[in-house]
Amino acid sequence: MRILTSWRYPGNWPIFRFDDRLLLILMAAIVGNFSGLASVALNRSLVMMSEWLHHFRHYWWVFVLPAVGAALSSLFLEKVVNEGAGHGVPEVIYSVSRYGGLLRFRSSFSRLISSCLTIGTGGSAGPEAPVVISGAAIGSNIAKYFSLNDRQRVTLVGCGAAGAISSIFNAPIAGMVFAIEVIVGEWKSVNIVPIAIASVAGTEISRLLQGNQIPFSHHLFNIDLLNIFACLGLAVLSAAASILLTRMLRSMHTVSHKVSAPVWIRAAMGGCAVGVIGLFLPVVLGEGYHTVKILIEGEYGQVLAVLALASFAKIAATALTLGWGGSGGIFAPCLVIGSLVGVTYHHLLALFWPSASWVNEGYYALLGMAGLISGMLQAPLTGIFLIIEITGGWEVILPLIIVSAVTTTLCHYFEPASYYLKDLVEHGHLLRPGTDARVLSDLNVPELIEKDCIIVNQNMLLRDFIAIIKKSHRNFFPVEDDKTGHFLGIIHLDDIRPYLFDPVMYDAVILGQIMNTQVEVVHPDDDLLDVARKMDMKGLFSMPVVVNNRFLGLISKATILDQYRKELMVQTSH
């Protein structure tokens, strides 16, 4: 029994007492393997489903397939596992920000199944976000099982995300960078080492089960200065496409919620619309890796107008799929839209400057992919490393950096938060470690209440009050009703200053006459961030904490600052 108990608490094993980083590295390897397996499972399931449904593609009713898939996916999430739709990455970031990375166990498999139903039947979404939440939930639940602390749990959540992305793209560096840049948001060695280990573990699992192949074939491009300058225009076009996709996703979400129908019907409506678009432009269906491959090869062979239309159609299809309740992520659609935008841009260049020596259109497809990923995620490093790893194209790194940096900057100007973070930022839920909001969110009003106050009543004479002041080191004195005990107001030392040097007034003034009754009060459930904001706005140094008309104590700026510093040191010390 003791052996079993000690197994639950590996942090107590002698080897890990020496340095808990070793513990994290061991756990990271385990998490990386499991999240890698989850990715492979989703990947294989999508391939199987796509092969099975291929036989039905020539029927006239094929457009209902995405509708059926999206409806089943929505029903599964709503009725079977009781989770809301969506790709789930904001949920992971929210949990990391606010609750030390606690995620439900059901999240480790629910999105795998729902996204398989959506994408496998032709919905325009990607499998990457579902594997990210799955990997993150695996990391969180392993940390929970072994009773690791919040900091360690957040790292393992990052490990799960890294292992999943590394595995699905066979791209360990991109997985690692994505986890740190997007999920954890903290570049520290204590995170980087375990996340790197998890990336390696996830990649190795993928290579073991699916072979070591880069997803898209590698090409050599002869890049001159002209083509490097030209990528600035592509960055602008990518930024426009990113902003359009972001806004369409959100507007579709808003519109769908105005339809008074069950969520699965709404998902089916979105899926049906995608199916209809797919009848005319099959490029919009599914995750679209095959399309990306063709575009990089330069074999798509369509005219400019068709390419532009396909870019727009893919944006609309993705918004219809995800905005109306389908399950999946935006990673793969970004790659498809980016490559379409890139090739469209190449055609535009060739149209306006036909005599210039432009590189093969595959080069612009790569840059477009990096641009869309960077623009949507506002995570330039993830965009750069992902494209390099999935195409093996290290020679395009300079234009990749330019496109990623410019697209991110332009998108940030129009959309200050990325697609993943927009809702979190709007609701004040993005609390990165070491930031003001995060420090304050980790403190609460009850732990900051100062209770050593002397309570007086409204009928007390000034003379008696002065005697009390002599014994006290405080400037604020709460006043309570002597019959009901209800809080009535507060007296500051400044309030009695006019009477202090006039002994005649000592027996003529009672506290009820001079107390301040228009007092801003705090409730123990209030957010400290709101309390601090209120103090700043109104220039207050102390506020009474009152509940059910009863005074509990004072909360002061000095105590907040004191605890703030301690909390900040805890958050930034490792």
**Residues sharing a CB contact under 8 Å with residue 111, sequence separation 6 or more, in sequence order:** 83, 87, 88, 129, 130, 131, 133, 134, 327
Sole binder of other proteins in the list 99, 187, 229, 280 (CB under 8 A): 99
Site for other proteins in 61-90 (CB under 8 A): 82-84, 86
Helix/strand/coil for 546: strand
Residue 26, classified by CB atoms within 10 Å of its CB into exposed (0-12), middle (13-18) or buried (19+), is middle
Per DSSP, the residues of 60-77 read GGGGGHHHHHHHHHHHII
Query: Closest distance between other proteins and the C-beta of residue 272, in Å?
Result: 24
**Residues sharing a CB contact under 8 Å with residue 526, sequence separation 6 or more, in sequence order:** 445
Residue 189, classified by CB atoms within 10 Å of its CB into exposed (0-12), middle (13-18) or buried (19+), is exposed
Query: Closest distance between other proteins and the C-beta of residue 459, in Å?
Result: 16
Q: How many amino acids of this chain bind other proteins (CB under 8 A)? A: 37
Residue 254 in contact with other proteins, rule: CB under 8 A: no
Sole binder of other proteins in the list 147, 213, 251, 484 (CB under 8 A): 147
Nearest to 435 by CA among 425, 422, 445: 425
3-state percent helix, strand, coil for the chain, nearest multiple of 5 = 70, 5, 25
Residue 559 in contact with other proteins, rule: CB under 8 A: no
Query: Closest distance between other proteins and the C-beta of residue 331, in Å?
Result: 20
Residue 262 in contact with other proteins, rule: CB under 8 A: no
How far is Cα 33 from Cα 17, in angstroms, rounded to an integer?
24
Residue 467 in contact with other proteins, rule: CB under 8 A: no
Instruction: Specify the residue, 109 or 289, whose C-beta has the smaller distance to other proteins.
Output: 109
Query: Closest distance between other proteins and the C-beta of residue 451, in Å?
Result: 5
Query: Closest distance between other proteins and the C-beta of residue 548, in Å?
Result: 6
**Residues sharing a CB contact under 8 Å with residue 85, sequence separation 6 or more, in sequence order:** 73, 74, 77, 78, 114, 263, 267, 325, 326, 327
How far is Cα 460 from Cα 489, in angstroms, rounded to an integer?
14
How far is Cα 430 from Cα 16, in angstroms, rounded to an integer?
32
- Per-residue x/- track, 389-428, other proteins (CB under 8 A): --------------------------------------x-
Sole binder of other proteins in the list 55, 452, 471, 573 (CB under 8 A): 452
Residue 260 in contact with other proteins, rule: CB under 8 A: no
CB–CB of 73/267 below 8 Å? yes
Type and span of the H or E element at 478 = strand 476-480
Query: Closest distance between other proteins and the C-beta of residue 454, in Å?
Result: 6
Nearest to 399 by CA among 440, 430, 362, 443: 362
Residue 204 in contact with other proteins, rule: CB under 8 A: no
Residue 5 in contact with other proteins, rule: CB under 8 A: yes
Sole binder of other proteins in the list 446, 500, 503, 520 (CB under 8 A): 446
Query: Closest distance between other proteins and the C-beta of residue 82, in Å?
Result: 5
Residue 4 in contact with other proteins, rule: CB under 8 A: yes
Site for other proteins in 522-551 (CB under 8 A): 524-525, 527, 547-548, 550-551
Residue 316 in contact with other proteins, rule: CB under 8 A: no
Residue 518 in contact with other proteins, rule: CB under 8 A: no
Residues that bind other proteins (CB under 8 A): 1, 4-5, 82-84, 86, 91, 94-95, 98-99, 102-104, 106, 144, 147, 427, 429, 444, 446, 449, 451-455, 524-525, 527, 547-548, 550-553
